[in-house]
Structure 1
Amino acid sequence: MPQLVAICLAGVILPLSFVSGSIATPVISRELGGSAQALSWITNAFMLGFGCFLMAAGALADEVGRKKVFIGGVALFALLSGLIGFSSSLLWIDLLRAAQGIAAAAALAGGSAALAQEFEGRAQTQAFSLLGSSFGVGLAFGPLLAGLLIAHFGWRSVFLSSMVIAVLALTLAISRLHESRNPHAAGIDWPGTVLFTAMLVLLTSGLMAIPEKGLFSGEVMGLLAATLLLLAFFVAVERRVRQPMLDLSLFRYARFIGVQALPLATAFSFVVLLVLLPMQFIGIAGMSEQQAGLMMMALSLPMLIVPLLAALLTRWISAGIICTLGLVIAAVGLVGLSQAIAGQHMPATLLPMAVIGIGVGLPWGLMDGLSITVVPKERAGMATGIFSTTRVAGEGIALAIVAAALAGLVAHGLQSGHLAGTAPYANQAVQRLATGDLQQTLRLLPDASATQLVPIYAHALQHLLLWLAALTLLSAVIVFAALGGRSQNRLARSKKPLCEADQ
């Protein structure tokens, strides 16, 4: 159906925009310059805008109409993609990427809600399965497409191609998508939305300032303290609002918390690699953007197949066990990847990347369904909204944490090698090397050589990957404790809501 095609096209460009930005960043740096922190915002600003407004966009769709919100989001996404493609200022690119994230939130929230109204029963299940597959297509082929476009047409074509796909989705949606709204919608929780957004902005800003300012600097400590203060205000407001943006009472249930651990685990074991590995391949190993895109397919291609396999496996094995097993496999892959990176043998990274993709693909195909089954049916909408926000906001925060950790490891390596202790631009050199900008690092450290800097970066990335493996294993333990004890099929036959069993 044309309306399904329209929403699936939007489903392709959202992950495509995320992964393409990480491939394009090194080229943007060469053309427009800018600090390492400003370049990091190309990806982080998009994820921050997306995560902050996803739940508000869902409430807005119920209030004013799902079609209106979807069309408005896709139209704004197309406009902003075009503006980014013609921008000549890194500051404007960062700001436009943040706005693009907000547009993406509206497109996803409106499109998903509209899709639920267009189909019923088995057809609805198949429609959402196709939407999930479209996310996988954007994720799997985004790096390769970005690399090809950059190689032949420049980095601007990456964003202009997203604009073309968005316009096509918009054309189909305007003529074929039906309007619907919730007549009992309670409106948007504006106090909660504002506090939540401000809290995430301050937290992300504080984390991203660590490489430049230091963890215990006044600026970073001030931002993190302000984040905690806003969190306290947010909790207080949400407990008193009649229709809160975030129903905090759901966090009383162990199984619900276990589900929230899944997107956080996949963020640290998979999503951050979509940014880290292109920096390694392009900036450190000297590959072209096209070659890096091909390499990244080893990580992302399993996402087209493994989630479907995971759904089939739930006939015999509980979803919690499958998710736990997937995280353990991903952790093994991260350990293998760390060893390949240590030796700077890029072909050797392909197998562990594929193992990580397979491991993460197992929970990836089950997380959304689990987010609904662990709460009573009447609270499924709120549970889905919380899960989606945890996923997107968690990915943005994970990127900021990993960037700060890598910069700290790089700084330690440069200091141990006595390469940056007295250099006038030592701090800038740390940030540049942490983002994989080897050439600019060599300019800032004239006494250093590539043969000295590459092992330092490799050693830092190796240790970071080992920490990510440990975090993934810890997440597996949490998921098993919360979700692994019962078969999903037995739970489906239970007369009690899942959360009642946890009380």
Structure 2
Amino acid sequence: MPPNANTGHPRRWAILGVLVISLLVVVLDNTILNVALRRLADPVHGLGASHGELEWFINSYTLVFAGLLFTFGVLGDRAGRRRMMLIGLVLFGLASLLSAYAQNPAQLIAARALMGAGGAAIMPATLSIISNVFDPRERGRAIGIWAGAVGLAMAIGPILGGLLLEHFWWGSVFLINVPVVALGVVLVALLVPESRDPNPGRIDVLGVALSVVGLVTLTYGIIDGGEHGFGRPLVWAAIVGGLAVLAWFIAHERRSSHPSLDVRLFREPRFAVPVALIGLVFFAAMGVMFFSSFYLQLVRGYSPLQTGLIFLPFAVAQLFFAPRSAAMVRRYGPRAVAVVGLVLSAVALGAFALIDAVTPIWVVLVFFFIQGAGMANIMPPATESIMSALPREKAGVGSAVSNTIRQVAAALGVAVLGSVLAAGYRNGIDPALTELPPQAREAAGESISGAYAAAGQLGPTAPQLITAANDAFISAMHWSAALAALVTAAGILVALRWMPTRSGTGAPAAVGEPELAGTA
């Protein structure tokens, strides 16, 4: 083969289109869910979910997703990535049906966990297949389009969710996944070639179990503490126990001959720094997205459809900037592009600490656009750096690590920032609850959704409770937004200190192929 020949698959761009459709269903579901949270909290038209249950609707998915990514990345490398993708799509479609017809919060949490298992089979396969069907010289552009598809799903999700909620019951936001899954199954079966690692390793069963137990226990402690207070021994037992199990997981991975997460990879800056940046950015961004929906629908009074349209600038910026980021990286280097993206994200997230109940909505739209532009210039160069640090046959490892960090960070962001929000809200609303009947006091003290529900039963005193709830929520939102901005600012320091100034060429990382063999 000539030295400059393109080593990509002849149908690589059509294959990328199929992968994008399959990816849409994973991202679409979570962005739709954001605008449905208020409806799910409604005891009449939803499931009457508490603040903690709303967090678990998100985190039961993300924790199972993150916990199984390593395993499914290994299984895909061993048994075939297309096969694993088809299994994931079918599982995701079945879980969507179960979610749509859940009768209580516990059933929806369980169905969302099953959906996370399906997503864990789909997501790493998409990046692994991209890495295998594209020449390294085209991979950056392909990953930029892949990241732009995430932006497209973010654009479609809230708007589609708003339309569905205005005309149908809340279960329709999950039922919409089924036709997308059916289309994805047909196209993957027809167009996507099978690929696998020629030298697969063994599955690290203990490592997978430790990661799932540690993450779930830690996140449970954070969410429960935010909902009911951090003064109870059970909360700290969960937090400390979760951290201890995760420390055991790291120690085990360092000793294992076939680790699910090869910690030696983190010696390579081209791999470790982008992974850290993805974690910091998604921790901050997803936590802010969680409370933005309540701010827009309750404090500002927008409908689910209007809320979806307000999120649109974030997605438009992703669609516009993500496919162009590869060219920016080639011209200026990954460090410069990532730092600019982090600065934009920090400014946009920090702006929520200045927004109140009467801020002009065009200001909110501008900040969403800035945040989308910032993340569009972080994700593609970071993902390309991670994937280029590994040889093609180990693409599942890089994909699993980057997606696991992203999902774990998103879950912890929702848990931590949601807990800060819940604790701040409770402290702010308490003085206004002393004269309320016991049942209304309990509902209003739990969350802003509960306060609005209680106000509907109070008659003339309702406006005072609504005002107090809005004030308490906005104050708590300011603290959560400030914390999100600080976390993102920490990413700027990480990038300036350790991010490579030039991108790689697709060669394997210096860790060495023999060491990597055990990870897949």
The residue aligned with 1:22 is 34
1:353 and 2:365 matched: no
Counterpart of 2:517 in structure 1 is none
Alignment partner for residue 205 of structure 1, among 188, 203, 220?
A: 220
Q: Report whether the alignment pairs 1:471 with 2:487.
A: yes
CA contact (8 A) 1:373 1:498 kept: no
Corresponding residue to 1:289 among 298, 304, 308: 304
Q: Partner amino acid for 1:23?
A: V
- CA 1:264–1:112 in structure 2 vs 1: closer, same or farther (change >3 Å)? closer
Q: Deviations over 1:66-94 (max 9, x none)?
A: 22211110011111112222222221111
> Partner of 2:4 in structure 1?
none
Cα separation, 2, equivalents of 1:125 and 1:471: 27
Cα-Cα RMSD: 2.8
Number of the residue aligned with 2:22: 10
Alignment check: 8 A CA contact 1:63 1:185 kept: yes
Instruction: Tell me, yes or no, if structure 1 residue 69 matches structure 2 residue 66.
Output: no
Residues 90 and 481 (structure 1), Cα distance of their counterparts in 2 relative to 1, 3 Å cut: same
Give the drift of 1:379: 6.8
Bigger mean CA deviation after superposition, 13-22 or 299-308: 299-308
8 Å Cα contact 1:140-1:301 kept in structure 2 = yes
Deviations 1:243-284 (A, max 9, x none): 100111233455544222211222134222332211111122
Contact 2:144 2:326 in 1 (8 A): no
The answer on whether the counterparts of 1:19 and 1:274 sit within 8 Å (CA) in structure 2 is no
Give the AA of the match of 1:329: L
Q: How does 1:113-262 map to 2 (within 5 A)?
A: 113-120=128-135, 127-253=142-268, 256-262=271-277
2:3 aligned partner: none
Residues of 2 paired with 1:175 and 1:496: CA distance?
Answer: 31
Change (3 A) 1:104 1:401: same
Of 307, 315, 322, the residue aligned with 1:300 is 315
Establish whether residue 419 from structure 1 lines up as the match of residue 433 from structure 2: yes
In 2, Cα distance between equivalents of 1:423 and 1:345? 35
Quote the offset at 1:152 in angstroms.
2.2
CA separation in 1, counterparts of 2:270 and 2:437? 52
Contact 2:147 2:322 in 1 (8 A): no
Secondary structure in structure 1 of the residue aligned to 2:402:
helix
Higher relative contact order (CA 8 A, sep 6+): 2
Aligned-pair distance for 1:354?
Answer: 1.5
1:312 maps to amino acid? A
How far did 1:194 drift?
A: 0.7
Residues of 2 paired with 1:123 and 1:70: CA distance? 23
Contact preservation (8 Å) 1:213, 1:219: no
* Structure 1 residues not aligned, in runs of 5+: none
TM-score (norm 1): 0.89
Change (3 A) 1:370 1:427: farther
Please report how far the alpha carbon of residue 424 of structure 1 lies from its aligned counterpart in structure 2 after TM superposition: 4.1
**Do the aligned partners of 1:340 and 1:346 also contact (CA within 8 Å) in 2?**
no
Question: Who is 1:100 aligned against?
Answer: 115
Q: Is the 8 A contact 2:287 2:415 kept in 1?
A: no
2:472 partner letter? I
Asked if the contact 1:212/1:427 (under 8 Å) is kept, the reply is no
Match of 1:398 in 2: 413
Moved more, 115-124 or 313-322: 115-124
Q: Given the superposition, is the C-alpha separation of residues 499 and 39 from structure 1 closer, same or farther in structure 2, using an over 3 Å criterion? A: same
Q: Distance in 1 between matches of 2:213 and 2:303?
A: 38
Letter in 2 for 1:6: V
Q: 458-467 or 91-100: which moved more?
A: 458-467
Can you list the C-alpha shifts for 1:368-417, whole angstroms capped at 9, x where unaligned? 012234578887653443222111111111111111010111122124x4
Change (3 A) 1:29 1:10: same
Is the 2:443–2:450 contact (alpha carbons within 8 Å) kept by the matching residues of 1? no
- Once the two structures are overlaid, the 10-residue window that deviates more, 370-379 or 317-326, is 370-379
Aligned with residue 88 of structure 1, among 84, 103, 108: 103
Is the 2:451–2:466 contact (alpha carbons within 8 Å) kept by the matching residues of 1? yes
**1:456 matches 2:472:** yes
Task: Provide the secondary structure at the position in 2 that maps to 1:191.
Answer: helix
1:314 Cα offset (Å): 1.8
Residue of 127, 131, 136 corresponding to 1:112: 127
Could you give the per-residue CA deviations for residues 202-242 of structure 1, whole angstroms, max 9, x where no partner exists? Answer: 01111110123322311111101211221232123212221
Of 496, 502, 506, the residue aligned with 1:488 is 502
| TM-score scaled by length of structure 2 | 0.87
Aligned partners of 2:153, 2:294: CA distance in 1, in Å?
Answer: 20
**1:351, 1:387 → 2: CA distance?**
29
Change beyond 3 A, Cα 1:345–1:121: closer
The CA deviation at 1:360 is: 2.1
Kept after mapping to 2: 8 A contact 1:210/1:404: yes
**Counterpart of 1:488 in structure 2: which amino acid?**
R
CA shift, 1:346, in A, is 3.2
**Contact 2:333 2:502 (C-alpha < 8 Å) held by counterparts:** yes
Amino acid aligned to 1:320: R
Equivalent-residue separation in structure 1 for 2:190 and 2:268 (angstroms): 43
Letter in 2 for 1:439: Y
Count of residues in Structure 1 that have an aligned counterpart in Structure 2:
493
Deviation at 1:25, TM superposition (A): 1.9
* Corresponding residue for residue 346 of structure 2: 331
Q: Residue 432 of structure 1 contacts residue 441 of structure 1 at CA under 8 Å; is this kept in 2?
A: no
1:389 to 389, 396, 404: 404
Change in CA separation of 1:280 and 1:250 when aligned onto 2, cut-off 3 Å: same
Within-5 A mapping of 1:421-460: 424=438, 428-433=443-448, 436-442=449-455, 448-460=464-476
Q: Determine the C-alpha separation between the residues in 1 that align with 2:135 and 2:392.
A: 16
Secondary structure, aligned partner of 1:315: helix
Aligned partner of 1:322 in structure 2 is: 337
Q: Residues 180 and 35 from structure 1, CA distance in 2 versus in 1: closer, same or farther, beyond 3 angstroms?
A: same
Call closer, same or farther: CA 1:175–1:251 in 2, change over 3 Å: closer
